Structure 1
Amino acid sequence: MMSKRSNRNFLFLIIGQAVSLFGTVLLRFTVSLLILDLTGSAALFGMITAIGYLPPVFLSPVVGFLADRKNKKNLMVGLDGMYGLLAVCLALAMRLPHTLAGITVAMVALSILSSFETPIVQSTIPLLQAKDNLVKANAIVSQINMSAQLAGPLLAGVCYGIVTRSDLMGVQSIFLGCAICFCLAAFVELWIEIPIVSIRRKTLSMRLLRQDYREGIRFLTKERTYVLGAILLNAAFVLLIQPFITTGAPFIISVVLELSAALNGCAQAFMGAAGLIGGIIAGSLSSRFPLSQTYRLFWIMGAAIALLGMAFLLRATAYVTYMILVLAGVVIFVFASIAGILILSAIQQNVPDHMLGRTMSFYTAAVNAAFPTGIWLYGYLYDKLINYLFAVLLATAVLIFAVGKMGKQIYKHL
């Protein structure tokens, strides 16, 4: 059995993940641009995109079941193989008469595949790294993810802008390029040696799935209640803060402050870079920052939101408000990245190897349920209370402080 300290296996894992994530983001963003081009409707585009958030919520129990009982390397290689096949099918779908229908089905299929990837990778990292090295390992994976999120859309936008939908062969070449990325990722992952967790092997069945699901629920609600508490608090934080990052900041800059798209893009670039910096800081902190103090990071983010709320309350000028918004976004991205890595690593450290898949699937399900819920809720509040954004922001800050207060009691057990 390979040692958990094996840098070789972890290196193969992060290289495979880097190539696979880049291909996934490039594929997803290109598909999004294509859907918007085909429909010309923001409402229809939003509806199709929202559908993509549903599969991870419902498929997570199955993912945890497979991650705990099946060979993780084979699962990762198989997923990248299916990603590649999907990319090829998308290239072929460009020649069909009902292109939008095919693209929509592909968008859902892409979301289904993505729902399997995260819990499998998160449950693999503790098997390749020592417990005291998990923060650094998760920080590296987080930086890879953030880099892909920055580079993927940039390259997709440039390539799509060059070829445009009228150039059928050009769009197909983007999809085929994604397929090559996935094939390379699968090839690299073939060289990973992942320790086999000792768990009874049985023929897959619905009965076994229900049994594993009940065992996972019992583990979190009876044996590791503080792990469940940390998962739920993280989901609450995602519900409160992610809508500001995803929809709030662009909406405020473009609609409320009536500033240019260039300034909007600059704000997103600054915040994306801040996420990378947060991952680097988390990796360097490693075990030197006690998890019991993580609640203070929540309070700092709450203070950043409150500062922006005060700017609206005091009717600051558009450019002053913009600078405060960017500052708040940078603070949130840095500290959210640090807190997320520390909490995820602590959860992995407190879960036995044979329960990692199911625990990570519950973690992913909670986050994936909170994310669209928060976007819908805050989208409604921003729209209806556009003249009272200070109240929305200050109320959000208070709730973030409350989440941090509850975390103070939970994190000391991790």
Structure 2
Amino acid sequence: MLRSISNFENSSRFRSVIHDLIPGGAHTYSKGDDQFPQLSPAAIAYGKGSHVWDVDGNEFLDCSMGLTSVSLGHAYEPVLEAVREALEKGVNFQRPSLYEKEMAELFLSLVPQHDMIKFAKNGSIVTTAAVKLARAATGRKLVAFPGDHPFYSYDDWFIGTTPCDRGVPEEITGLSVTFQSCNIESLRALFRAYPGQIACVITEPEKSHCCHGCNCGTGPQEFLKQAIALAHEEGALFILDEMVTGFKTDLPGSITKYGLDADMATWGKGIANGFSFCALTGKKEIMELGGIRRKGEEKVFLISTTHGAETHAIAAAMATIHSFREHHVIDHLNKTGARLIELSRQVIAKHKLESFIDILACDWQPVFLFRDGSGQISMPLRTLMLQEMIRNGVLFQGFFVPSLSHSPDDTAYFAEAFDASLRVYKQALEKGTEGLLVGEPTKPVFRKYL
């Protein structure tokens, strides 16, 4: 039976004070109030498995799982057990801990293409570190990435290319150049336009739309292999950003799924089941530039973070890897995503809404697109769907991130909530969202003005 949620009294109180304390009201913009309908939880009190409870005691099926970072489930006991053991020994020391060697060996055993690893606390740190290494290795300045991918770093080299470029000098933005994702001719044209100037190409290996109709027409594997070969022919390095795809498309990610010869790769999100742990892996001749053993060579100040190798986060990552191996988690994620897609399509067909709702049918992360009567993507209609799914007990932002904790009962519940929500969606298609949507539509994270 569907839950019916209408009480957000404590959430309203939380919203009334949090923006006076924290800029944006959260510590990543994707968690901000402008990303959710007004009738939604403002804060989460706790989570367990595939469910979360908000500050009003409302229970929700979690579709985002910590913005894709929680791959096994909230408060997953084998990870917590490893973390408790590490905490009792101390979390930070004057010299490296034994955990660092153990984790380096374990993670590199998953990535046979790479020889060395560096730890950090968030994805922006490791993507920027990879760019720095590429510039140091090639002596070039420019970094190339797909202009139609949403995010690579909060650092100036990337964020200056978005509408949120306030505070970023033009001189820095000018060192970044973009191409169309999965389009080898677009990348080739970029190398022709900037001969001998591009230090590296950085890209995510695949997105949800790659399962639905990739720009390259042949799928990501062929494009990626062509792009790597082209970069190397042009004297540039190739960086694979596996922040989202890692521990989802394969173990550890698309680099092994497709057998790619990337020079470096960046990892985060789901690799430590929600704990703050990220990594940069790469070939020895490149990574060693950030070392201290080459006497007389100019030093590259790579990553130097006090908290980057906290023992409990490393323990969480190691426990996550062991769980992935023991429980064949990748297979479970794909089966869960495929079942959710199948059930959702049945519901869409039941309501005859195939022309208004698209599913980017990627098993490891299905994405839903909501269209109006003219076939255009509609933010008001999308927000209405989020509102109704939340009303029915599903914390939904237009996509679903499978975890080991998601069960057949969860996918069945999602479909039931989706069915109920589409009844309201049909009304809005006929009469508009006025009177149905409470509050304002959600807004893009990357926008010039508030």
Give the TM-score, by structure 2 length.
Answer: 0.26
Richer in helix (by share):
1
Max radius of gyration: which structure? 2
Give the TM-score, by structure 1 length.
Answer: 0.28
Greater relative contact order (Cα < 8 A, sep 6+): 1
Richer in strand (by share):
2
